[in-house]
Amino acid sequence: MKKIVMTAAILLSTCAAFAGNENANVEREAYNMKVNYYRLGSALNLASDQTDKVEYIHDNFCNEMRRAAYAKADKRQAQMQKAVSKDLRYMRSVLNHDQYRTYVQLLNATLINRGLL
């Protein structure tokens, strides 16, 4: 009887450990900001010279968000805010006023839908 109880306890603790790792992976997936650049370009009505710059800026943003996903919980929000503000600052220099406004709306919607804001 004692062996059965111990075996059940070990199985339950192992399952709980796997569930905890799965939850962390789901949370980290929310920080994945990869986008389809063709659709982003058509939504923002980008000119050909803007496309490469936007892709480069957004790739840097994705890398910073990935670093924020793996940061400690107490520093994660600060790193995410830093990444977002840096992304917006760089995008502002590349996009015109209407494109920038649309980009901010898309970014806000994405962050809210993923539960990051």
Q: What is the pLDDT of residues 1-16, one digit of tens each?
A: 556 655 555 656 555 5
Say what the pLDDT of residue 12 is: 61
Mean pLDDT for the chain overall: 79
Q: Read off the tokens for 82.
A: 């830093």
Answer left, alpha or beta for residue 115, where phi above 0 means left and psi between -120 and 50 means alpha. left
Q: What is the pLDDT of residues 9-41, one digit of tens each?
A: 565 655 555 555 455 555 667 677 777 888 888
Say what the pLDDT of residue 71 is: 82
Burial degree of 74 (CB within 10 A; 0-12, 13-18, 19+)? exposed
Say what the pLDDT of residue 1 is: 59
Q: How confident is the model at residue 86 (pLDDT cuts 50, 70, 90)?
A: very high
Say what the pLDDT of residue 92 is: 93
CA separation for the pair 44, 94 (Å, rounded): 12
Nearest CA to 61 among 93, 99, 100, 88? 88
Say what the pLDDT of residue 93 is: 92
Tell me the domain boundaries of the chain: 1-30, 32-113
Q: What is the pLDDT of residues 95-109, one digit of tens each?
A: 999 999 998 998 888
Assessment of whether the complete model's pTM goes beyond 0.85? no
